[in-house]
Structures are given as structure tokens and as C-alpha cells.
């Protein structure tokens, strides 16, 4: 039994107001939880939308290429682009990337000081590296060229004769051409 000093009409009104306030607090907590959930999913949504746009852009490029070259199969174009993304293929079938080639250039330098290394893709199957530096002597520069040729089998290392004009402190620029084997 409930014993209160409140009249029944006032007690019913208080009971009704209590349940209304409890319902409002429950709805407020539910709304806050929903907002937190939406905010926590926002970075994932942005990432998915960016990936979707990237894939759609790639697909439209492939379709445009197919319109320009109607004989090109979409699957073949995808494989070609995938092979283009692979930087180098070793003759044994393994993949080599720019960092491996740059590591070979650095580790074989001996007493030669390197000032810059540049890489560029000149075609679908050719990559060119330009190595600049200072060699203490003509012999050390020729030895460095030989070490590069032996370290990177199948590549061409071009050292212009004009680079050998001085006998000491030679500023040089080597061009390394790498043919990608499919």
C-alpha cells in the first residue's frame, strides 16, 4: 500500500510526469548514442567514398581507352596497367622496386660520393636511373661503373667519355637503363 499525503489527482499527475521525464531521458540517451555512432563511422564512410571514386575513375579510363582502341580487351588493359604498376621484373620472375635498385647503387659506390639519384619511366618496358656524384679519381669512377654493371645484370650503364676528362675530383653523371622483362 502506498501511503502519501498527496491527493489522488495530484499523485496521478506526479506519476505521469515522472514517466514522461524518464522517457525523455531515455530518448535523449538513445539520441546521443546514435550521434556518437554516426560520428565514429564518418572516417570509414569518407574512406569508402574516396576508394569508390578512385575505382570508378579507373574504370572510366579503361572504358575510354576501349572507345579509342576498340580492339583492346578490358581484361587485357587491366593486366597491362597492373604490369605497369610493377616497377621491375627480375629475369628470374621476382619483382624489384626502386628501393632495391637505389640500394644497389648505394652499396656498390665504394669511395665514390653520390649527390643525387633520379628514376623515371621512359616507356612501358624501360626505366632509366640517373646517378650523379663526385669520384675521387678516374679509376674509382670506372670501377664504380663496373660494379654497377655486375650488380644489375642485364642493365646498361652509360658513362660518357667527357666525364673522364679530369683525373681527380670528377663530377659525373651515369645513366642506367633497365629493360623490364614481362
**Nearest-angstrom CA–CA distance, 130 and 127:** 10
What predicted TM-score, i.e. pTM, was given to this entire model? 0.45
User: Residue 53 belongs to what domain range?
Assistant: 7-85
Judgement on whether residues 59 and 127 belong to the same structural domain of the protein: no
Q: What pLDDT, on the 0 to 100 scale, is given for residue 96?
A: 45
Judgement on whether residues 149 and 102 belong to the same structural domain of the protein: yes
**Is 45 inside any structural domain?**
yes
Residue 178 phi/psi, 5-degree rounding, is -115, 125
Q: What pLDDT, on the 0 to 100 scale, is given for residue 109?
A: 77
Judgement on whether residues 101 and 61 belong to the same structural domain of the protein: no
**Is 34 inside any structural domain?**
yes
CB-based contacts of 87, cutoff 8 Å, min separation 6: 95, 96, 97, 98, 127
Judgement on whether residues 50 and 100 belong to the same structural domain of the protein: no
**Alpha-carbon torsion 162, 164, 170, 171, what sign?**
positive
Domain boundary among 85, 116, 134: 85
Domain boundary among 85, 120, 137: 85
Residue in the block written with cell 669512377: 141
Q: What pLDDT, on the 0 to 100 scale, is given for residue 110?
A: 79
* pLDDT per residue rounded down to tens, the chain (182 residues): 467 788 889 989 999 999 999 999 999 999 999 999 999 999 988 988 888 888 888 878 777 766 665 555 555 555 555 554 443 333 334 444 567 777 777 888 778 888 888 887 776 667 788 888 888 888 888 888 888 888 766 677 877 777 677 778 888 888 888 776 55
- Provide the number of structural domains found in the chain: 2
Q: What pLDDT, on the 0 to 100 scale, is given for residue 124?
A: 67
Amino acid at each position: 500500500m502506498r501511503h502519501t499525503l498527496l491527493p489522488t489527482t495530484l499523485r496521478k499527475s506526479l506519476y505521469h510526469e515522472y514517466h514522461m521525464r524518464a522517457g525523455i531521458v531515455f530518448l535523449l540517451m538513445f539520441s546521443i548514442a546514435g550521434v556518437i555512432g554516426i560520428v565514429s563511422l564518418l572516417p570509414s564512410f569518407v574512406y569508402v567514398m574516396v576508394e569508390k571514386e578512385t575505382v570508378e575513375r579507373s574504370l572510366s579510363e579503361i572504358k575510354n581507352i576501349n572507345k579509342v582502341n576498340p580492339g583492346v580487351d578490358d581484361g587485357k588493359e587491366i593486366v597491362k596497367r597492373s604490369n605497369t604498376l610493377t616497377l621491375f621484373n627480375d629475369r628470374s620472375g621476382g619483382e624489384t622496386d626502386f628501393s632495391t635498385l637505389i640500394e644497389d647503387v648505394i652499396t656498390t659506390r665504394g669511395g665514390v660520393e653520390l649527390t643525387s639519384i633520379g628514376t623515371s619511366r621512359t616507356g612501358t618496358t624501360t626505366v632509366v636511373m640517373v646517378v650523379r656524384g663526385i669520384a675521387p679519381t678516374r679509376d674509382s669512377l670506372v670501377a664504380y661503373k663496373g660494379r654497377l654493371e655486375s650488380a644489375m645484370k642485364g642493365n646498361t650503364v652509360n658513362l660518357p667519355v667527357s666525364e673522364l676528362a679530369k683525373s681527380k675530383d670528377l663530377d659525373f653523371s651515369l645513366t642506367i637503363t633497365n629493360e623490364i622483362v614481362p
